[in-house]
Every structure is written in C-alpha cells, then in structure tokens.
Amino acid sequence: MSILNFSSDKNSAVNPALEAFLKDFSIEVMPRTAAKIESFKELLPQNTRIYIAHIEGTPIHEMVDTAKRLSQEGYNVMPHFPARIIENKKVLIDWINRYKNEAGVKDALLLAGGVNHPYGDFHSSMDLLDSGEFDKAGFTNLHVAGHPEGNMDIDQDGSTKNVDSAISWKQEFSKRTDAKMAMATQFCFESGPVIEWADRMASIGVDIPIHIGVAGPAKLQTMIKFSMACGVGASLRVLKRRAKDVTKLLLPFKPDQFLTELAEHKSLNPDFLITNVHFFPLGGIKTNANWTIENGGTSAIPALQS
C-alpha cells in the first residue's frame, strides 16, 4: 500500500502562520478508538506523534498492543502513565519494560490521572519522575501536563498556587537531568488567556516547551459535553455564547479562530513558549486529521513515498 502524499493535499489558501504552527502536530487516541481505524497511514503523515490515553480500567496489554501497532505503522508513540492507577514501583517498571521491549517505545506522558484516590504509592507525575525508572530505561522524551486555566482538583481554592509550584519543580527536574520535556495542556478555546498564561510561565522562569491542547472539530453539543466532563475552565464561555444560537447547535465547531490567533502571535513572538499543537479528536480521528492536513499540518519528517 502506498503512503499518501499529504503535502499535495494542502489548501493553497492556507494561512502561512497557521501552517507553520501546525508543523509537527500531535493527536491523542485510545485503544478502543484506534482499533476502529483500519490504517492510520491513510489519515496521518508518518512520524506524527500519537499519544495513547490510558483511561482507568484499560488493561495494560491493550495499551501496549496499540503502541506496538502504531509504532510499526511508522508513528512516534507516547503512551500515558497516569500515576494514580499505578500501584507501585514494580508495576511501573513492568509497564515501562513492556512498552520498551514489546513496542519499541521510549517516550511517555506522565500525569496524575483522573481518579480521586490513588491505587497505591504514586500520587502525581512528580512521583513518577522522581522514581528514576524512566531514566534507567532510557526514555528520551518525558512530557507532563499543563493547565492554562488552572486545575480545581489541584487548587480547590481557585488559585494556581499548587499547579505553579508543580511546574516549577518540573522545570528544575528538566535542568538537573537529561530529560527532554514538554508540557501538553488541557484543551482551551480562547487565545487571550492562553497567551497570558504562557507568558506568565516564562516570567517565573519556565522554559519547557508548551504543546497547546486543542479540541478537534466536533458538533457543538459534543464539545460542550466533553468540556464540562474534562473540567475546562473560563474559556468554556466561548462555546456557551455560540450555543445561544440554536441554528449552530448541530454544526461542527472548529478551532480555526483559536489556532489562527495563537499562530499569528507566535509568528510575531518567536520566543513564545507554545511550540506545538496537540489535538483531542472529540469529533473523530478522521475528521480531526482531515481538518489538520487541509490547514497545512505535517509531521516533523515528511512521509516516504513507496
């Protein structure tokens, strides 16, 4: 099977700033959604980074099998390691070794996870980093979560004190180790607050690259449902304003304005900490992939033709 020439599919009228901003984008899948895709080569440029979300209750063998499949199809795979569902160091080492030895994976997104009560010894991504096991296994890219709108689970008083302290700790970790780190954030809908947050991170000494979370095209009702479930903050008002127009409820909500504003800001401010776009395909992987390619999205290394 030949690999699609994605470069020929681009819209010639695409915004140059947006095209540059979408270079080396990433996208998130779950094992059950990935299983429905016959061939990712028909959807995404090879070498695209694909995060695999580990939802509570998903068996590790399903995660590793998905990672192996995507790796064999030519993608850069980054599975989630949710600290609170990893019982102890023995389990952590087992997961790391299975990803490395069975799927050839050496990248990971470390996060606390969405459960309220930890299964065992690990409570946060900092606990996972501090274990030293990823370094021992030779994992090269270690990404962590970012929260442009704060996180009520971490700062229940509505402040950003604890999330700021955590990212400062991770900043220091990146300096004292060889880890190549980045922050992958929750999805947002307003560029202004995101720009202010990224600039504030820089002002407190953070230089970890930010991969901004973006909700891929989806029906407005779907977008609102996922946003409320995922704890999206103030920028949810963008969706609520649109929802007041009942004629738009069944129409897809696309990230055009949000990403264009961020892209143009990046083009004028090259040192802006946001370097990459990370998609949550709320309206489906195919829909998200098509929108991204149409707007100039590519992987870091062009796909080979066969």
pLDDT in tens, 231-262: 555 445 555 565 545 455 556 789 999 999 99
DSSP strand E in the chain: where? Answer: 26-29, 49-52, 76-82, 107-111, 141-146, 180-187, 210-215, 218-219, 252-253, 274-280
Rounded to two decimals, what is the model's pTM? 0.87
In angstroms, how far is CA 21 from the centroid of its own chain? 15
Q: Which two tokens stand for residue 126?
A: 């900092």
Distance between first and last Cα of the chain:
8
CA 265 – CA 181 distance, rounded (Å): 23
Of 194, 227, 223, 210, nearest to 287 by C-alpha is 223
Q: What percent of the chain has pLDDT over 70?
A: 80
Q: Which two tokens stand for residue 261?
A: 């504003």
Report pLDDT digits (tens) over 152-184: 566 566 667 788 899 999 999 999 998 999 999
Residue holding tokens 């590790």? 60
- Do the beta carbons of residue 198 and residue 182 sit within 8 Å? no
- 75 vs 68, 71, 138, 203, 305, CA distance in Å? 10, 5, 19, 35, 15
Low-confidence ranges of the chain (pLDDT < 50): 1-3, 8-9, 234-235, 244, 246, 301-306
Which of these CATH numbers, 3.40.30.10, 3.30.70.270, 3.20.20.220, 3.40.190.10, describes 6-294? 3.20.20.220
Beta bridge partners of 214: 279
Q: What is the DSSP letter of 48?
A: -
